C-alpha cells in the first residue's frame, strides 16, 4: 500500500563537519505550510478516523500532507537528521535541521491525533513519530477493511429487488457499492451492472436480455434511467390489464 515512488532514504551521518562556531541554542521557526496544515486540517479532514472509514481517511490525509510537502514524514522517507554537527575545531554543536525536524514531526503527530476517534487513540498515543503512527494504523486496518470488502461484495452478489420500488432497489445497490469503495475495494461498472440485473424479478427478463445483448456499453446512469422507465411501463401495463379485466367482468 505504498504511496511514494521516491528512492530509498539514506541515513544521515552521526555528525557532520561545519565551519560555524558552536552555538548553545537555535531558534526554530514553524514553516508557513505547517502553520497552514495545523490551522486547516479539521476543516479539510471533516471526518474522524473509525475502523469502517480508514481508506477514506487515509486518502484525505495523504492528499493534504503531500500537497504541503509533509508526506515524507508519514511514509518515513524524511529521516531524522543527526542531533549534533561536528565543527572544524572538532566540537559538537546542535544541528538546526534536527530541531526543525523534531518540531515538524511533533506537530504533525498532533495534527493526526486531532482527526482520530477516541476509540482508536489508545493504540497510537505512545508512538514517537508521525511515521510510526501512520504505519501502525495501516497495519491495524488493512486486514479489517479487506474482510469488510469481501462481506459487502457478498451482499451485492445476493442483492434482490423483491418488493422494493426501483428507486429503493437502486439506492440499496448504490449504498453497497459506495461502501465497498469507501473500504478500499474496487468494482468496475460492468460488474455493478451484472449484479443489478441479476437481482431483478422475472418480469424484467426481456429487459435484461436486451441490455446484455447490446453491443455498446451502457453507463450506470443510463441503466438507472432505463430501469425506472421500465418500471413505469410495467406498472402501466398491469393497471391496463386490471382495468380490462374489470371491464370484461362487468360486461359479462
Q: How far apart are CA 228 and CA 165, in angstroms?
A: 9
Mean pLDDT of 176-196: 89
CB-based burial label for 11 (10 Å; 0-12, 13-18, 19+): exposed
The label of the residue with cell 445476493 reads 158
Better pLDDT: 157 or 238: 157
Among 135-139, 162-166, 237-241, where is mean pLDDT lowest?
A: 237-241
The pLDDT confidence band at residue 141, using thresholds 50, 70 and 90, is confident
- Which set of grid coordinates corresponds to residue 33? 505550510
The answer for residues whose C-beta is within 8 angstroms of residue 103's C-beta and 6 or more apart is 28, 30
Domains in the chain: boundaries? 17-141, 158-236
pLDDT digits (tens, 9 = 90+) for 51-62: 888 888 999 999
Residue 116: phi and psi, rounded to 5, are -115, 135
| Cβ pair 118, 94 in contact under 8 A | no
Residue 7 has pLDDT above 70, yes or no: no
Residue whose C-alpha is closest to residue 188's, from 231, 157, 219, 165: 219
| Cβ pair 222, 196 in contact under 8 A | no
- Which set of grid coordinates corresponds to residue 5? 515512488
| Cβ pair 77, 98 in contact under 8 A | no
- Which set of grid coordinates corresponds to residue 89? 575545531
CA angle 154, 160, 163 (to 5 degrees): 150
| Cβ pair 84, 92 in contact under 8 A | yes
**The pLDDT value given to residue 252:** 54
Residue whose C-alpha is closest to residue 101's, from 76, 81, 130: 81
pLDDT digits (tens, 9 = 90+) for 213-234: 988 889 999 999 999 999 999 9
> What Rg, from alpha-carbon coordinates, does the chain have?
29
Amino acid at each position: 500500500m505504498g504511496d511514494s515512488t521516491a528512492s530509498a532514504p539514506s541515513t544521515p551521518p552521526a555528525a557532520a563537519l561545519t565551519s560555524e562556531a558552536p552555538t548553545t541554542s537555535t531558534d526554530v521557526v514553524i514553516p508557513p505550510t505547517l502553520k497552514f496544515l495545523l490551522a486547516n486540517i479539521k476543516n479539510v479532514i471533516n471526518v474522524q478516523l473509525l475502523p469502517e472509514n480508514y481508506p477514506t481517511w487515509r486518502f484525505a490525509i495523504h492528499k493534504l500532507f503531500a500537497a504541503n510537502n509533509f508526506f515524507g514524514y508519514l511514509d518515513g522517507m524524511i529521516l531524522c537528521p543527526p542531533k549534533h554537527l561536528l565543527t572544524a575545531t572538532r566540537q559538537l554543536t546542535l544541528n538546526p535541521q534536527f530541531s526543525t525536524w523534531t518540531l515538524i514531526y511533533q506537530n504533525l503527530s498532533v495534527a493526526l491525533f486531532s482527526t482520530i476517534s477516541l476509540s482508536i487513540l489508545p493504540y497510537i498515543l505512545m508512538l514517537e513519530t508521525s511515521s510510526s503512527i501512520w504505519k501502525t494504523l495501516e497495519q491495524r486496518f488493512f486486514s479489517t477493511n479487506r474482510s469488510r470488502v469481501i462481506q459487502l461484495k457478498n451482499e451485492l452478489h445476493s442483492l434482490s429487488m423483491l418488493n422494493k420500488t426501483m428507486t429503493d432497489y437502486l439506492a440499496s445497490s448504490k449504498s453497497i457499492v459506495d461502501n465497498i469503495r469507501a473500504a478500499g475495494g474496487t468494482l468496475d461498472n460492468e460488474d455493478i451492472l451484472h449484479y443489478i440485473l441479476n437481482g431483478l424479478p422475472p418480469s424484467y427478463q426481456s429487459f435484461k436480455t436486451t441490455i446484455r445483448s447490446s453491443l455498446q456499453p451502457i453507463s450506470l446512469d443510463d441503466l438507472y434511467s432505463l430501469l425506472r422507465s421500465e418500471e413505469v411501463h410495467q406498472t402501466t401495463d398491469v393497471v391496463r390489464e386490471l382495468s380490462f379485466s374489470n371491464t370484461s367482468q362487468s360486461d359479462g
